[in-house]
Chains A and B, each alone.
Chain A
Amino acid sequence: MELFLFVVFSLITLVSAAAVVWHPHPVKSALFLIVTFFAMGGLYLLMQAEFIALMQVLVYAGAVMVLFLFVIMLLNLKPRGEDRSAFRKRLRWAAPLILVFLGAALTAVTSPLAQLGPSAGQGVGWVESQGGNVRAVGRALFTHAFLPFEVTSVVLLVAVVGVIVLAKKERR
C-alpha cells in the first residue's frame, strides 16, 4: 500500500513538475505547480512528517502560489509565439548539462553510502513516543531549535518591510 501511494504521488509530482517547465502559459504553469505541491504534501504524509505536509499545503500550495497567480494576473502576461522556438533551442543546450548533473546525483544517491536502515538514529517509534509528529516538532521548535525559530520570524519581518518599500509608489 505504501509503495503504491509512493508511486502514485511521485508520478503526479514528476509529471506536473515537467508540465510546469513545458507549458507555454504562465498561469497554467502556476496551476501545475500547485498540483506538484499537493502531491509532495502526500509524500510528506507517507514519510510521517504531518507537520511539514500541512505547512506544504498551507504555505506553498496556499499562500505562495496565490501570490504568484496574483502577480501573473496583475502583470497580464500573454504567451508569445516566437518565444517557443527560442525556448526549444535553450532546452537543447540546457538538457545535456542537467543530464550530467542528474547522472552524478543518481550515482551518489544509489551508492552504498546512502543506505540507511529504518533503525538508524533515535530508533523506530521514537517520534510516536513523543506524542506524534506535530507535538514533537513543536517541542523541538521551542526548546533546542528556539534560535532558528526566532530567526525565521526576523526573516519574515525583514521580508514584510522590504516588500512594502519595494512595491510602494515613489513620491517626488
Chain B
Amino acid sequence: MVSLNAYLMLGAVLFSIGAVGVLAHRNALIIYMCIELMLNAVNLTIVAFSRFLNSLDGHVYVFMIMTVAAAEAAVGLAILIALFRNKPTVDVDEINLSKG
C-alpha cells in the first residue's frame, strides 16, 4: 500500500506548482486555472487523510470544496467577461481601477 507521506508530498508539490503559476502569470485566466490546481492539491491531501483515517468526513469536505470551486470559477469568469466589456484585456497589471 502506498504510504500517506507519498500522497501528502504529491499534494505539496502540486500546490507549489499552482502557487508558482499564480505568482508568475499575469493572464487572469491562467491565474484562475492555477488556483483550481491549488484547490485540487488540497482536495488530494484531504482525501488522503480521509483514506488513512478510515473516515468519510473528508469526502464530505471535498464535496463542499468542489462546489465552492465550481461556483468560484463561474463567478470569476463572469467578472472577467464583464471587465473585458469595459477594457479589452485580461492582464491583471492593466486591470487596476480600484487601486488607490
Contact = CB atoms under 8 A, between A and B. Distances in A.
A165 B62 CA distance: 28
Interface residues on B, range: 35 or more
A57 B24 CA distance: 28
Contacts of B6: 6, 10
B95 interface: no
B34 A20 contact: yes
Given A21-B17, A30-B33, A87-B24, A10 B10 contact: yes
Interface string B30-74: 101110110010011001111111111101101110111111111
Query: Looking at chain A's contact residues, is the secondary structure mostly helix, strand, loop, or mixed?
Result: helix
Nearest to B37: A17
Interface residues of A, number: 86
A118 to B, nearest CB: 6
Given A21-B20, A59-B70, A148 B82 contact: no
B47 A33 contact: no
Contacts, number: 227
A122 B56 CA distance: 10
B33 A29 contact: yes
A17 B47 contact: no
Given A13-B14, A18-B17, A71 B37 contact: no
A6 B2 contact: yes
A81 B32 CA distance: 21
Contacts of A46: 2
B14 A14 contact: yes
Given A20-B33, A52-B47, A64-B36, A71 B14 contact: no
Given A90-B23, A156-B71, 20 more contacts: A3-B2, A6-B6, A21-B30, A26-B29, A44-B47, A52-B43, A52-B63, A68-B32, A72-B29, A86-B26, A90-B26, A94-B23, A110-B5, A114-B4, A114-B5, A127-B54, A145-B60, A152-B63, A156-B67, A166-B82
Interface of A: 2-3, 6, 10, 13-14, 17-18, 20-21, 26, 29-30, 33, 36-37, 40, 43-44, 46-49, 51-52, 55-56, 59-60, 63-64, 67-68, 71-72, 74-75, 77, 83, 86-87, 90-91, 94-95, 97-99, 101-102, 105-106, 109-110, 114-124, 126-127, 133, 136-137, 140-141, 145, 148-149, 151-152, 155-156, 158-160, 162-163, 166-167
21 contacts: A21-B24, A47-B47, A48-B51, A67-B73, A72-B29, A75-B81, A90-B23, A98-B19, A101-B19, A105-B16, A115-B5, A121-B53, A137-B56, A152-B67, A152-B68, A155-B67, A159-B72, A159-B75, A162-B78, A163-B78, A166-B78
